[in-house]
Structure formats: C-alpha cells, structure tokens
Structure 1
Amino acid sequence: MTVRNLDALFRPKSVAVIGASHRPGSVGAMVWKRLTEGGFTGPIWAVNPKYDILDGHATVGDVGDLPEPPTVAIICTRPATWPAIVHNLGGHGTRAVVIVGETRSDEDRMHLRHALSAARPHLLRILGPGSLGIITPALHAHLGAPACTVKAGGVAWVSQSNALTNAVLGWADARGLGFSHAVALGDEADVDAGDVLDYLASDAATRAILLEVDTIHAARKFMSAARAAARNKPVLALRSGRDDPTDALYTAAFRRAGMVRVDSLDDLLDEIETLGLGRVAAGSSATLITSDRGLATLSRDAFRAAGDTLAPCSQQNTAAIRDALPLATAGNPLLLGATALPEHFGTALKVLADQRDTGTAFVVHASTHSAPAEEVAQVLIAHQRYAYRGLLACFFGGISLATRDALHAHGIPVHSTPQRLARAFARLVDYRLGRELLMQTPEGQPARVSAAVDAAQAQACAALKAGITELDGDAAAQLLAHFGLIALSPQQHAEPAVVDIKVELRDDENFGPVFRFSAPSEDGIAPPLRLYGLPPLNPILSRDVVAKSAYARYTDPESILAALTSVSQVVCDIREIVGLSLALRVMHDRVAVVDPHIRLSQTRSRFAIVPYPRRYEETFDWHGEKLTVRPIRPEDETAHRDMIDAMTPDDLRLRFFGAVRGFDHSQLARMTQIDYDREMALIATVPTADGSTRTLGVVRAVSDPDNETAEFAVAVRSDQKGRGLGRLLTQRIIAYAKTRGTHWLVGEVLRENSAMLGLAKSCGFTVTHTDDPAVMAFRMPLTDNDKNA
C-alpha cells in the first residue's frame, strides 16, 4: 500500500485519542495536551474508561462508544490492546491511526503483526509504532507528542528519528519558522518514507521536502516516489553514517532520484529558512550586494568555496550601476560603500532587475550609523518585487525579532553568515542540475538486434539447464559480444591502457542489483574512484559516472559511455544474470573487456528502477507497413514532438481538454521519460526511408501508487485516423493493465469527442456522466472481483 488513505493523516477532520490521560508524564497525557493546545478545530474525543470528563471534553470508555468514526485515532495504550482497537476502529470507518508506543519484545512485535492484519481488510493506515506523530500546522493538527506546537510554513519535514524531529521542530520554532507538515515515521510497519514522499509530491502546500533517513525500505517504491517528487519540487536528504560501507550507494540512489544530499544537520536546517520562506528560483548564478569591503571579501570567499556561482558583471551592468549609484564600486560583489544609505540597497535591486543575467540577489549587511539593519530590512521588503530570481539576506550582528518576522512574512530568508547563505544557494543549484539530469533526453542507445539479444538469452538459459551457473573466459565473452562488448584476447592484454575500470554487479538487500565502479588513483595521492550506479544506465547517466573519474581527460569518453551503457543493457535484458564482474580496459581509441565473469540463476532480486520492458515489443504487418508497438523510450522525444506537431489544433484540443500551441522540452520529457513501474506509454512506429522511425500514435496508462486504478488516454496522428490504430493501441493497453493486476482502467473525454466515446464503448468501457456537463467518464473493471462489484 502507498498513498491510500494518507490524506486522513495529513488532513484529518476528526481525531480520537485512545488512552488519553491526566496522569503526568504519561504518553496519553502528552498526546492529549498537544492536541488540545494545538487548537485543532475539528471534533476531538478522549477514549479512556477511567474518566467521564477530560479537560472539559466528554470521555467515552470504549471505541465503540464514539459518536462517529474519527478520521484518525492516536493509540497511546500498551501493545496487547492494539489488535482489538485497530479492528474496532477499522470496522467503524476510521481511516488511519498513529501508534505512539514502541515494540520492545517479541510479544509486542506479535501484537503489532496482529494489528496490521486487523487493519488490512479496512485499508486502515498505521503510522508507527514508535512514532512521535504527524503535524499539519495549517489545520493546527498535532497528532502525537511533539515537544512544541508548530507554525505553518512551506517545507515538509520527514524523519525516521523522533529525537531529531523534536530538535528540528524546536530549532525552527525559536526562529519563527514553520512547516507544511512534519512526520516522524517511527518503525515504518506500514506507512514508510516512500508513501509519504508520494503524498507530498502533489501536496500544494509543500514547496520543498527535507528527508532524514538511515535505511530505505522497499527501494523500488521509494525510488519511484522520490523521482516523482524531485521532478516537482526540491527534495533534500540527510543520512548519517558516512563510514557505512553502503553509504556511497545511498549517495548514488539520492542523485539518481534527483534529490540533493546534504552533509550535515546544519545544512538541512538552513534549507528550512531558504526553501520554507523564499521564492527563490534555482538558477545558477547570484549577485552579492553589500556596503563593506571586508564583508564583500568574506562573502566572495564563501561563494567560491560553495561552488563559485557569482554572476560576472558585464560592461552593461557596470554602466547602469555607475549611473544610478555613483559612489558604488561595480562588480560582484556590488560594493555600495561605507557611507551607503538604506535606500541605496533598494536602488541596487532596481538596477539589477533590468540586468537579467545577474541572477538571485543576496544582500549581506552589518548595521552602520548610516544604514541601520532594521531600516535596510524595510527597504528590502519594499523593493523585493525587483528581485525577479528571489532575494536572500544575511545580517551580521543580528536583527530584532520583529524585523526578522517581517522579512519572513514577505518571503525573504535570513541567514546568519555568508557561508550559510552560499551553501544554501549552492544546494538549490545542485537541485536544478539534478533535475536537469532527470529531464535530459539521452541520445539513442546502440541498436540491439532482437536476434542477438535472444541469442544471449538462449545461451544463459541453456547454461542453467545444463547446471552451469558460472560463465568465465570465452563463454562469458561470447554472451557479452551480443551487446557489442568485445573481450581482449591474451595476445592483446599487453596493449597500453589508460586505466582499467572494475565493474561489479552486486545484489544489495535494499536496492537489489546495483553496479559498483572502481578505478585506482590517478596520481597515488587522490583517493581512488569508488562509486555506485543503479541500473538501467543510459549514455547521460553513464556520463555522470565518467565525469567523476580523473582519467576522463586522457581519452575520448564516448567509448567508455557506450561500454557502460552496454554492460547495463546486458544486465537488464538477460534476467538470468545475478552477478557480474569485469574490467573495462580504457585505451586511447577504444574500450575492451578483460576477465569477464558472469553468475547465473533462475531468479534474481527486483531492480529499484524498472528497466525498459522489452517484453512488450511486437512488430507485425499493418496496412502494408511494418508496424512496431513498443514502450516509449526517452530518446523518442523528437519523434513524439513530430507526432504532436502533425495533429490538428482541434484533435489536440480534444485530447488535452484545451487549446495547445505546443510542448517544450520539459513537458515532452515527462511524456517520454516514464517510470515503467507506475506508468506505461505504448507507441506505434513505422520505419522511414532515412532509417529512423515515425511515431503514429500513443496510448498511455498511469496507475495510482496502489495499482488500484489506472487512467487511460490515447492519441493518434490526425492523418492516421480511421485506420483502426486507436482501437489497436487501446486493446494493447487493456491487456497490459490486466497483466499488471490493475483493478480498474478509467478515463475522461469531452462530450463532443464522439469518436473517442464510440471507441471506449466498443472496447467494453462503461460511459457515465461527471459533475462537469462538458466531460464524460469511462470505466472498465479488469479483474473478476471488480466485475462482480
């Protein structure tokens, strides 16, 4: 289960505290106090047979005596009571519970298992056990025992640690900062980090997510959720334990998901300020504004240490600054001078607004007689609208709480030192670059003739049938050669090499099959290359690996990229491969394989990221053409744009429910770079005279995280309408959804789209009205249970 009923936890309408108490120091007393003091406006009930009244609230003795089912119940009782309580709550319609207590013994863990079993038939979600709780400040909902009440803000906090959560909430409260939500996951018996990321990815109140984790459970679900979230908003992750042997794997996973890994709690706390308040565009450059030369030097050094993101000062910028601020020294930092007045800071922002290459504005200031900090702050508030890429401030010596709160109210983050300011911005740049990596379109991967892949598959299966589970030497080289990987002969081993890159495929208990890359130090002083990669790789992801090697400048990297990508394809296409080790010998003009070893098995762990599903490819004759129906790939972006460009404006309006002028790269990337674990887009293509392919149509099904329902849509080039392509694609997406175990296939269509309505009915969909008179809905059950529902 994933997001099912999580809205109950994040947006509760009523709350019951099971085991609410007056007893000082008890869990029930702490939870009840925080709920009532937090000011939650919905109905709240105390459940405890020992009381009739608790703080003016009527108390009931049993869950069955509640006047109505609470949206959420907080359980503060001992583990032995959990199964019966959960059973009763689920039967009455409660959708989620928070279990605050911990499991300390085998008997406690047995009771937890029974509680989970009791929850399952009702789809009731359990946060915990051992959870500090979940907080939604906008609703004044404090469901648990946090150390303080929490203000509303734009950042969500998600953590596996209760102690750290309390510390962060207290730190933020002391600085007038808040959260959209704060979640302490506890033991993650049901609701885990992946579930919460899934929910927060589409939560409008959350502008950014701060995640603290020690261990990732259900890696495939986590990676899908993290990648979806990072496409929409910054996700920053903190994981302690750099000396953990698997820590480098977490670094690779976070980067692959588009998340930004931070090195310390201080860095994560700074982002509560930057992301929770600021409307800062994650551009790649910034301009510093200050009045003091010493502060200018400190600030410049800080930005250089954090990644040198200061924008160059052009001649045009210099001339504009001299005209508006004759006493200022143009440059970056922009030095206003020791006698600068508060209004000069506002003038600087206005001048920079006309120079779009100056990026985000950073004001670093220490109070002076001519420019008191409080007056400068008011000028920044008044001129904030000119900072088109956002405005951040640093006031040495501090400012009053009233001034700080006024800056916060206008979305201006305030940092205490230039170093913290620079690092906070550098992480925004890291997020932008990571998101771009997610959205880049890779060049086409080397074509693999199906017969060659099938031959490699047959070799692996034949070996297993003969009882052979290890392939070495010529046998391993033969299999790899089907993917363009050529092994060196013994006579060629003496050829000069730039470096040998060791590649290993390992089976991690959390992430499944992962690659480990290693190479010796270039000079014997720098550390050796050791990093992980999650398959599948493509040339862009392979380039990210190669860029980290000091040897990249000694050779053409393209041959290395092709070899790494081919190794990934071997592992993805031949599912019998459970282990692999080889060296890629990098020479000046080519890359070859040395000492390959392959381990085979009938079964292997699931990939954390689902690779391209080649099994859904099929090619057949269609109206005299060779038509291929296959899953969409990232490199299909250009052909997909051509298909959309070939559709008439009216066809586009009917498909996208409004006028469409076209799609930019980021929109097309979302269409072509899909997560095959949750979404499928099948395209129909035909070959062209120049050897490329032309996309004629696409059908898409996007399932909810629970795989309960998938939303379906189909589009066909306007010049291909009336040839049965829409029906062909629809039938194939229905078959695909059935193999996935999806329960319902649904969709919506404009009432005037008679062709789509006719197609839906003829394929077996039931068509119904919606609340919008202009829109019709269609729905098809895909399992026998749903057909009988």
Structure 2
Amino acid sequence: MGTRFLRYFFEPRSLVVVGPVAGDDATAITIIRNLVEAGFTGRMDAVALEPAALPEGIVSHAFFDQLPETPDLAIVCAPIDAVESILTQLGEHGIRAAMVFSGPPREDDPECYPRLLKAALQAGVRVLGPECRGLAVPARRFNATYATTALEHGRVAYLGQSGMLGSAMIDWAAGRGLGLSHLVTLGESIDVRLPDLIDYLNNHQGSARALIIHVEYIFDAMHFMTALREASRRRLVLAIKSGRTAQTETASMVATPGIEHRDRVFDAALARAGVVRVSDSDELFEALEVLSRPRARPRGPRLAILSNGLGPAMLALDRLFEQGGKVAEFSDTTRRLLGAEGLDHSLPGRNPIDLGSDATPQRFVRALELLAGDEGVDAVLLIHAPTRMAPSVELAEAVIEFWRHTSVTLFTSWMGLATARPARDACHRVGLATHVSPEKAVRAFMLNIEYQRVQSLLHQTPPALAFDTSEMVRQRCHELIDDAHRRGRDRLTHEETAMALRAYGIATAPALYVQSAEEGRRRFYELEHPVALKAVHRSNCLPFRADRRPDRPAPDLLQDLDTPEAVTEGIRVLKERVEAAMPGEGIYSYCMQPMQRGKQSLQLAVGITRDAVFGPVIVFGLGGYRADVMSDRCIALPPLNMNLAHHLIDSSHAATLIREHSPEPERDFERLAILLTRLSQMCTDLPELRGLEINPLLLNREQLLAVDFALDLGEPAHHAIMPYPEELREQVVLANGWPVTLRPVRGEDADLIREFHTHLSEQSIRYRYFHHKATLSERELAELTQLNYDRQMAFLAEYHAPQGEKYMLGISRVWNDPDNIRTEFAIIIRDDLQGVGLGQRLMKKLIDYCRSVGTLEMVGEVRADNRGMRRLVEKLGFRVRLIPEEQMLELSLRLNEPRSDWQRHRLENLRD
C-alpha cells in the first residue's frame, strides 16, 4: 500500500477518538488521557463517548457530521462488529487515517478482517490495526497508546506486529532509561504493513538512529527486503521474531522442502538485509547498547583476553569457541615482551593472558599497551575480579584513561557486585563497553562480529552470474520445460535434468538412459563398469523427497552390476519393485551410471528450493539424508555473486571438512562458488523452476560431479531480492560508429566505475557531484553499484574495442521513492564522447524504463552553467526552472498521469 497518508499517523494536527457506541469505554478514555498527559497540541474531539468521562476541553459528538473540522486521524475503539460501518463513515467525511484498537473478531466470523480491508479500500482510509495497541512519537508529544508509563524522547524506533510486546517495550525502555523516537504496534493490521512503516521512517522521519522490529509474519517478501535493506544502510536495525521453532510458528505456512525448519530462511533473509537478529528481549537491549557504540566495533574477529585469573578467562574462552569466535595469536614481539615483563603467568605467550591474582592497575595497563600494538589483535576483553592490589574503581579509572588515548577496541567485564558496580558505572559514563560477566562480554563482541558479517552481505550486490548466460542456454532449458508441460508433467526426467545442468556448465556423471532390458544389455559396454542402475519414475524425479530413508536401501536402485546379464536381470527386478510399491506409477527410463568409487570424494548436496514467503532459496551442505546432515544445510537467498557464494560455503560444516582434507581447499571453494552462482542464475532464468536437488554432488581432486538430481516445476516464482535485469540490455551504435552496450549496472562494475572516474575532467565531476571528487571511496562505489533493482536503476554504456579491451563510456541512474511517484536522475559521460549522442541514449534509456514501471515524474538538478545538459533535457521535453540564488536548474518531466487524487497531491508537493 506504500506510504500514502501515513503522515497523518505520525504528525496529526487533529484527531477524533471513536468510542464503543455502547459498553466499556475504558480503552478510549485511557488513550485520551495519555494524549493529554503527553501534551498533544492538536485539536482532539470524540464521537460516541460519555461526555462526563472526558477531560476538560474535549467535546463528545453523537455523529461524525457534527465535528467542527475534518480531523487528520481517527482512533477507533468501538466493538469490532461496528468497525466496518465506521470506516465507511470516515471515508465519507474525508478522514484518511484510522488506528483501530478493536478486535479480535468472533470465532464464527473468519471473513471479518477481509471485509474490513474491502471497506477501507472503498473508503480511501489507511488502517493501522485491528488489534493495534498504539503509536507514539514523543518528540511531537503524541502518545496514542494505553501504556501506563510515559515515553521519553530518544533515537530508537520500535515497530512491532505484537501489540502487547509493544506495550511491554514501553515499560522495558522506561526501566532502562532508553528513549524512543517512534513506537508503533501493528497488531493484525489489514492495510498498513511493516514495510510501509519502515519506508516512511526511511524517507520522512530521520531522527531514529536505530530501528527495532518485531516480526511474526511477512506478506510481501520483496517489499520487506527492499525496505529493510534501505533502512540498514542508514542505521542499525535489530530484529526479534517469534516462531523460531516449528512448534511456536503461528502462521500456517507450508514447510520449505529440503530445509529442517523454515525459520532458517528468515535468518538468511535478515542477514542478507544487513540486520542482526536477537533471540530474546534481554539480548535485544544488550545488542542495542553494544552496537550503538562506534568505539566497540572491532576491526576483525580476533579477540585477546586479559584477566587477573585463569578461571574467568577460560569462561570467556569457552563461550568464544561455542559462538564460533577466533582467538588472537600474538606476534613474536608481543610474546617476548609479555614474558620479559612477567605479564603472563599461567600460559606463557598464549591467549588468554593471566596477569596473576596480584596484578596491579599498572600491570593491566601495560598489558593493554602491548596488545594495542599487536597487528594480530582486533579487540581486547579485559576481565577483572576485585582484589586489594587492584580495586575495581581504581583499575577502571586507569583503564579509562588508557582507552581515551588509544584506538584499541576494548570490552570490559567487572565481576562481582559491591565494588564492581561503581566500576561499571564509570565505564558507562564515558561510553566504554562493560558487562557483568565474561560470557556477556564475549556475546557483545560476537554481536559486533555478526553485525559486520551481515553488513558485508548487505553490500554484496547480486550480479547475473560470474559469466553471462547465453540466450541459447535459456532457450534450450525453456524447451525442456515446455515439453514437460505438454506431456502433462510437473517435473523433468532424470535425463532432462542432466541436460539442463550441463547447459549451465554443471558437470554430470556419465549416464545412459535405456527403455528396456535388451537395450541395457546391448549398451552395457559403452560405460565403465561396474554400473549403478536406477529406475527413473515420477516419484524419484521429485527433489527433496520426504520419504527417503538412509537406513533402508532404495527400492528403485541397484549397484555394482558388472555384466550385461546383471543389467538385464536388474531391469526386470526394478520393474517389479516399482510396480509393486507404486502401482500405475510408470517408468520413464532406466539410468545406467558407472560406480563412482576410489577417488576419495566428499559427498555434498546443493539445490534450489522454494519458500512460501521468500521464494527461491539456495541450499548447500553435506550430502545424504540423515537428520544430522539435514540440520547442517545452509541456505541463502538468490541472486548470488561469488562473494555471497563463498559466505554460504564458509557457514557450513562441509567447509571445515574441505579445509581439513583437501590438498587444494581454495581451488575447491572456488569451484563450489562458481557452481552456486550458476544455480542462482537458473533461479533467475527459469522462474518456473520450483525445486532442484543435486545429491550427491561429488567433490574430489579431479572434478565436481553431479551424480543424482531431480527438478520439479511450478508457477513462476517471485524473488525476495530482485535479480539482475538482464532483459534490459541493449545494443546501440553511436554517431561515431562505435557499437555500444547499454546495460544495468551490477556489483562487479565497481572497478570499471573507479577506472572511468579517473578519466573525467574536474568540470565533469563538478557537474555530476556539485563539488570536486578526485576519487571514489569504497563506500561510494558500493552505493553506485549495489542496487535494489525494484527502486533503483543505473544504465552503463560499455564499449568492447576490437583488441578485446572493455571501456566504460558513461552512466545514468535513477532513485525512485517508495511509492513510485517521483524519481531523481543523474548522468555523467566521458568528456571526449560528448556530442556523439551518448547522453541522449542514456537519458532515453532511463526515461523509457521509468515509464515502463509506472513512475509519474522524473526530476533532477543541474548547475546553471551546464549548457550541454540544459540543451539535452530541453530536447527531451523536460521543464526547466532556474533557481537564481543557487544558480541551479530544477528539471522535471511528466512520465505517466496520476491514477488517484493522492498521487496528484504528491506531484503538487504535498507530504501526504
């Protein structure tokens, strides 16, 4: 639904509270009192409330047409059965936003909420709720909740689907002294969704430095992911989700084939969006506190532990290993100085460092100085148990003084209570990370590592592939799919799947597919033997079958057949077995493959599955079907590039086995990453692909070989992250005769853009960025190349010289607002190519694209002295307006006509 009319929820100038008509009005009265106590400055009226119960100055009216003015917001506390009529009346009286506290519906009325949504759409009213538990913006003195605690203004926004968890959040925040910039509880919201609110905060409410979201279910995965990815580029985002186990998931979702529990898909989605997920409310506040401190961000995962006793240090070390952390290895210089100065008692030269029970503050500080100078240390955890030689407060003061004059990332844990509390308070006052136990300090360190990991995933933009898929490949696979559909099949046969895999460069085991025992006997010697023989039928062409049992031999498979006669007999046996076990199933063919033994292969499993919410998902892990193997399966959302593929591999137990046993692990990781990106490309090219399982995939010194596989089909998939739009590639010829490719930008173009920038004149750079920018930083390059294609687009002009070199000639880009009303453009081309029609080509490419996706208006700003750009935009039909005081030109071009009054208002610069 977008951000339409959401301003009225966050910045109402006037409101009306709609009462229960008859019955208990406690909720409405509580909300009114909270609004009054918060100091709401707008006009407040009531409808259908008992006048005697209202605070002074608030008038209760019997009907909406008695209101003295049209309020911005209605707060509805009537019984749920009355809400449909109330929404209709709100629309008739021009009220465009309603918070509905009513609900839940009666058990015998399952269509209640769909009816309310229909009524809201017909009335033109945005609805937050039913079962909403309130919204608050403390900076605006707006508290429309029935919380018992006043909200303090802060820099943290909370958006949650659970109403009561939101109410608890208010009390938790007050108890911890945490201020909130916004608090919204959606309840069972039929209209305003979580992504709508995130979009609104991203674009209209910049005061939130951190965002907490509570999620129970998701309706639109792409909108959710796009909004989250934009939010986490700007601020810290933490997520807490209920339903982490199959027993507690309340949404009735079908299981995701091949994955033990679909909550892991949600984990993968959050990680890809750059969001840290926390498991409980205590960890939520801990993460918020830890990750809000820039000085607590380590430069890497290597932790040094320093303590005045080995016991506390080992507690920290155990927790570090449990959570997958890394222990820093000290340099030779650090080890030598630690030993020479008597600073390591228990484990000389090793991590953790035990300073001894007689350690003084001076010894602590000296050890910190040595660790701060060691390039192999990314962060230090100081653990202190109180002693007479080093009282907690005295040591804390010495450590703080050291910390103020160094750049080292330092975590502290002051154990105990009576003397430890003042030490922790001293650290809190100056912003030094401190924790009550070594284990909590390690958790804080690992939260930072997790945040760095997910932020790195956020900045990996998905390309099409490490190589470009040819149209011939896509066409061949579509022919296989079309043929299967014509034959009434919803899956490919084993042979057809092998053909599709090979088309994408994935090697499959040599195989022959025969139709009879006679053909099998005759062709036996065409393969190395002994052979495995498999009856290919409908059931075993289904990926991620739930009936596979590792403790039982497969009824449709025979192994080690070493003569033609054995194959003849095997086909007879398999035919009887299949007919007995699956009457009427029918056998497509018999697959003969050489036995794959004697090559010290690791069995892996890879594939594509489809989640009910997030769409296609890439699966990777060890091969087989045992429960422990299934639990190791790691997943990622496509599209993948090589870096994302490597992240997926590294997260699995298979990566550990490869490092331990492979003579060339880096080569193997590269081969696997290439294969995963090719599977990712299949997701993009073949939207009908519902599932693909390769199990086993054999990895050995010689090859990466798909042995068994299955592929099934379904309705075209909707991706959670829009893949690279290959279909927008276009070939053009410039006026100078150069053939040029216009294509969307992708993540791999960072080096190309960096090189292009070095050849631009200072004037061209100033025209584009409005100031001189000699080089582009890594962050700027990421912003230029890592796009959410559903809201951003950039077209790059690329010339392939006859000698094989590749040159970037220019680039144009647009940024769409969340409601697709306006898009802002920018363009820059190489200085020596101005006047050959390249600028016009790139601008027309942008304009055609934006028109095709329904954008209403394109806008931009250029310097008034940029005459070439002014001539170009005037030729393209832009309206040009000079801003004399800034010497800038405002440019605008109408692309499509508005389809509603609200869109027309937005084009007239209203902020609704």
TM range (shorter): 0.7 to 0.9
Helix, strand or coil at the partner of 1:430: helix
Q: Equivalent residues in 2 for 1:212-223 (5 A)? A: 212-223=214-225
Distance in 2 between the 1:3 and 1:200 partners? 10
**Bigger radius of gyration:** 2
CA offset digits 1:154-200 (Å, max 9, x no partner): 43333322333333433332232333333322113222232333344
Helix, strand or coil at the partner of 1:628: strand
Give the equivalent residue in structure 1 for 2:187.
186
CA offset digits 1:314-368 (Å, max 9, x no partner): 5777899999x99998987677776777799889888877778755565544555
Q: Equivalent residues in 2 for 1:351-362 (5 A)? A: 359-360=378-379, 362=381
1:660 equivalent to 2:773? Answer yes
CA offset digits 1:57-79 (Å, max 9, x no partner): 33242555556555544322223
Q: Which amino acid aligns with 1:190?
A: D
Distance in 1 between the 2:31 and 2:363 partners? 51
1:305 CA drift (Å): 4.0
Distance in 2 between the 1:42 and 1:349 partners? 56
1:29 equivalent to 2:50? Answer no
- TM (norm. structure 1) is 0.87
Helix, strand or coil at the partner of 1:506: strand
Maintained 8 Å contact 1:176/1:405 = no
CA offset digits 1:407-438 (Å, max 9, x no partner): 65644454322211211221111111222233
Distance in 1 between the 2:95 and 2:83 partners? 14
CA offset digits 1:457-491 (Å, max 9, x no partner): 34544654676653213333333333223332224
1:534 equivalent to 2:637? Answer yes
Against the structure 1 CA distance between its residues 772 and 532, is the aligned structure 2 distance closer, same or farther, given a 3 Å change threshold? farther
Maintained 8 Å contact 1:137/1:150 = yes
1:688 CA drift (Å): 3.3
Distance in 1 between the 2:137 and 2:363 partners? 41
CA offset digits 1:291-334 (Å, max 9, x no partner): 566544544444444444565555777899999x9999898767
Against the structure 1 CA distance between its residues 196 and 637, is the aligned structure 2 distance closer, same or farther, given a 3 Å change threshold? same
Against the structure 1 CA distance between its residues 27 and 408, is the aligned structure 2 distance closer, same or farther, given a 3 Å change threshold? farther
Give the equivalent residue in structure 2 for 1:618.
730
Distance in 2 between the 1:340 and 1:287 partners? 17
Give the equivalent residue in structure 2 for 1:784.
897
Give the equivalent residue in structure 2 for 1:273.
289
CA offset digits 1:507-547 (Å, max 9, x no partner): 32211233344534799977653233322222222222322
1:733 to 846, 858, 863: 846
CA offset digits 1:384-414 (Å, max 9, x no partner): 6436466654443447999877765644454
Maintained 8 Å contact 1:23/1:29 = no
Helix, strand or coil at the partner of 1:784: coil
Maintained 8 Å contact 1:79/1:108 = no
Give the equivalent residue in structure 1 for 2:474.
453
Against the structure 1 CA distance between its residues 359 and 580, is the aligned structure 2 distance closer, same or farther, given a 3 Å change threshold? closer
Q: Equivalent residues in 2 for 1:114-129 (5 A)? A: 116-117=117-118, 119-120=120-121, 125-129=126-130
Distance in 2 between the 1:612 and 1:240 partners? 32
1:135 equivalent to 2:155? Answer no
Give the equivalent residue in structure 1 for 2:50.
50
Distance in 1 between the 2:368 and 2:16 partners? 52
Distance in 1 between the 2:389 and 2:682 partners? 69
Give the equivalent residue in structure 2 for 1:234.
236
Q: Which amino acid aligns with 2:504?
A: F
Helix, strand or coil at the partner of 2:869: helix
Distance in 2 between the 1:419 and 1:100 partners? 42
1:687 CA drift (Å): 0.9
1:386 equivalent to 2:396? Answer no
Distance in 1 between the 2:295 and 2:476 partners? 55
Against the structure 1 CA distance between its residues 480 and 367, is the aligned structure 2 distance closer, same or farther, given a 3 Å change threshold? closer
Give the equivalent residue in structure 2 for 1:561.
673
Q: Which amino acid aligns with 2:190?
A: A
Helix, strand or coil at the partner of 1:77: coil
Q: Which amino acid aligns with 1:255?
A: A
Which is further off, 456-465 or 153-162? Answer: 456-465
Distance in 2 between the 1:11 and 1:362 partners? 45
Give the equivalent residue in structure 1 for 2:716.
604
Q: Equivalent residues in 2 for 1:307-386 (5 A)? A: 307-308=324-325, 311=328, 359-360=378-379, 362=381, 364-365=383-384, 373=392, 385-386=404-405
1:138 CA drift (Å): 3.9
Which is further off, 297-306 or 586-595? Answer: 297-306
- TM (norm. structure 2) is 0.76
2:595 to 494, 498, 506: 494
1:670 equivalent to 2:751? Answer no
1:696 CA drift (Å): 1.0
Which is further off, 14-23 or 461-470? Answer: 14-23
Against the structure 1 CA distance between its residues 296 and 531, is the aligned structure 2 distance closer, same or farther, given a 3 Å change threshold? closer
Against the structure 1 CA distance between its residues 549 and 355, is the aligned structure 2 distance closer, same or farther, given a 3 Å change threshold? closer
Distance in 2 between the 1:321 and 1:47 partners? 76
Which is further off, 275-284 or 566-575? Answer: 275-284
1:38 CA drift (Å): 3.6
Distance in 2 between the 1:387 and 1:22 partners? 67
Maintained 8 Å contact 2:40/2:142 = yes
Against the structure 1 CA distance between its residues 410 and 12, is the aligned structure 2 distance closer, same or farther, given a 3 Å change threshold? farther
Give the equivalent residue in structure 1 for 2:792.
679
Which is further off, 376-385 or 472-481? Answer: 376-385
Maintained 8 Å contact 2:88/2:120 = yes
Maintained 8 Å contact 1:28/1:76 = yes
Distance in 1 between the 2:737 and 2:56 partners? 80
1:258 to 256, 274, 277: 274
Q: Equivalent residues in 2 for 1:544-555 (5 A)? A: 544-547=647-650, 548-550=652-654, 551-553=657-659, 554=661
RMSD: 4.1
Point out where structure 1 has 5 or more consecutive residues left out of the alignment. none
2:436 to 407, 413, 416: 416
Helix, strand or coil at the partner of 1:57: coil
Which is further off, 101-110 or 160-169? Answer: 101-110
CA offset digits 1:729-750 (Å, max 9, x no partner): 1111111111111122222222
Q: Which amino acid aligns with 1:474?
A: E
Q: Which amino acid aligns with 1:131?
A: C
Identity %: 30
Maintained 8 Å contact 1:35/1:141 = yes
1:514 to 608, 617, 624: 617
1:428 equivalent to 2:534? Answer no
2:881 to 755, 764, 768: 768
Give the equivalent residue in structure 2 for 1:149.
150
Helix, strand or coil at the partner of 1:470: coil
1:700 equivalent to 2:813? Answer yes
Against the structure 1 CA distance between its residues 301 and 461, is the aligned structure 2 distance closer, same or farther, given a 3 Å change threshold? closer
Give the equivalent residue in structure 1 for 2:584.
none
Distance in 1 between the 2:602 and 2:306 partners? 47
Distance in 1 between the 2:92 and 2:381 partners? 56
Against the structure 1 CA distance between its residues 447 and 132, is the aligned structure 2 distance closer, same or farther, given a 3 Å change threshold? same
Q: Which amino acid aligns with 1:157?
A: Y
1:652 CA drift (Å): 0.8
Distance in 2 between the 1:512 and 1:671 partners? 27
Against the structure 1 CA distance between its residues 360 and 133, is the aligned structure 2 distance closer, same or farther, given a 3 Å change threshold? farther
Q: Which amino acid aligns with 2:658?
A: A
Which is further off, 750-759 or 445-454? Answer: 445-454
1:471 equivalent to 2:492? Answer yes
Against the structure 1 CA distance between its residues 274 and 600, is the aligned structure 2 distance closer, same or farther, given a 3 Å change threshold? closer
Maintained 8 Å contact 1:539/1:561 = yes
Helix, strand or coil at the partner of 1:172: helix
